[in-house]
């Protein structure tokens, strides 16, 4: 699941960035530097942001980004204090699996997902035919990532990525993402002012990082731009393309909730234990309602996202593909659960 935004503070940041007054920008930069380097030795000087930006510009030019795009995208930007604060103080994940699933797969989201699945049936069927991904999974990802395009993030992506790249904690990763973001702007897919996303740089209705955009975003509506921000067709087809190129199989589902026998060997729980369904059946694993598992040699693993004693799921290769999107068992299970409920 993408990192959460803070809309009121994002709005405040946009106001600061838009006023262009030198003194305000200087104060904002000094505050950002103080937050970024709090706790470090006072004898260690902080890098000069303008020198860093000049070096970045040189690298971007060498990679083929035009000077005109760089002039527009990099002029007057400064680190955003809130972005550094969020990166430094990400709260530990304290929700239980049941709490998470109740929140993410809410009744409201299920109802809305069913309605949007029906309303966009023709589009989704065409995407499914081309990319071989079932529509309900595309809609489930759309719903969990941005509440079906409602919460796409309000942070300026270039400014956020520059903040994180300059900060130094994960500079290599975010510098590469920033360079790709500049290439996306140079290709004309989105304007600088419209390139908004999460504080960490995830963009659009499906929350792609720039590198994911570069690899998987598609121009499905044929207007010459890969617009995952405002084009529903581009966003949904891009999500399908991501799954298709990550190993998705349209002839399989993601998994199913199951029931374990009382004497079950819990050492077999985990993604590393892969067995055909027939073997799980022989070990006493049944569907959650007590029925037998399907007669199949399909390979599967048992997982318990909430830990021992919690809900148990038998998951297939498509589940592992969902983990390539987000490496969280909570997330992948929620996508599968929401997809199943949308279909029902």
For the record, the structure tokens of 45 come out as 């000087």
Angular region, 87: left φ>0, alpha ψ -120 to 50, beta rest? alpha
Give the separation between CA 156 and CA 10, rounded to whole angstroms.
Answer: 9
Assigned token pair, 251: 């002839």
- 3-state class (DSSP) for residue 192: helix
Residue 255 phi/psi, 5-degree rounding, is 160, -165
Catalytic residue at 145? yes
Q: Residue 229 carries which DSSP code? A: T
Distance CA 253, CA 255 (A): 6
Q: Do residues 238 and 206 make contact, with C-beta atoms less than 8 angstroms apart?
A: yes
Q: Which of 85, 107, 145, 279 is catalytic?
A: 145
Pairing between β-strand 255-259 and β-strand 312-315 as defined by DSSP bridges: antiparallel
Active site residues: 145
């Amino acid at each position: 699941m993408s990192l959460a935004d803070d809309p009121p503070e994002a709005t405040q940041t946009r106001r600061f960035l838009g006023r262009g007054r030198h003194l305000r920008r200087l104060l904002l930069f000094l505050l950002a530097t103080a937050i970024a380097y709090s706790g470090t030795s006072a004898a260690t000087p902080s890098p000069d942001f303008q020198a860093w930006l000049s070096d970045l510009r040189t690298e971007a030019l060498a990679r083929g980004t035009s000077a005109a795009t760089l002039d527009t995208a990099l002029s007057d930007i400064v680190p955003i204090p809130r972005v550094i604060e969020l990166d430094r103080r990400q709260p530990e994940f304290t929700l239980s699996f049941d709490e998470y699933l109740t929140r993410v797969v809410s009744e409201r989201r299920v109802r809305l997902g069913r309605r949007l699945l029906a309303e966009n049936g023709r589009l989704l069927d065409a995407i499914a035919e081309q990319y071989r991904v079932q529509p309900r999974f595309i809609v489930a990802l759309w719903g969990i990532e941005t509440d079906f395009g409602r919460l796409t993030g309000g942070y300026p992506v270039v400014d956020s990525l520059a903040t994180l790249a300059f900060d130094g904690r994960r500079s290599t990763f975010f510098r590469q993402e920033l360079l790709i973001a500049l290439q996306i702007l140079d290709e004309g897919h989105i304007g600088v002012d419209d390139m908004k996303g999460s504080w960490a740089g995830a963009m659009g209705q499906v929350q792609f990082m720039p590198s994911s955009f570069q690899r998987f975003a598609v121009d499905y509506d044929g207007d010459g731009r890969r617009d995952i921000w405002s084009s529903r067709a581009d966003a949904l087809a891009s999500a399908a393309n991501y799954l298709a190129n990550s190993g998705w199989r349209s002839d399989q589902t993601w998994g199913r909730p199951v029931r374990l026998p009382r004497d079950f060997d819990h050492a077999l729980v985990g993604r590393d234990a892969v067995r055909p369904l027939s073997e799980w059946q022989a070990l006493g694993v049944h569907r959650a309602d007590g029925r037998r598992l399907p007669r199949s040699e399909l390979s599967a693993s048992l997982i318990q996202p909430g830990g021992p004693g919690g809900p148990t799921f038998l998951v297939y290769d498509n589940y592992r593909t969902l983990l390539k999107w987000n490496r969280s068992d909570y997330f992948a299970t929620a996508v599968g659960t929401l997809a199943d409920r949308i279909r029902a």
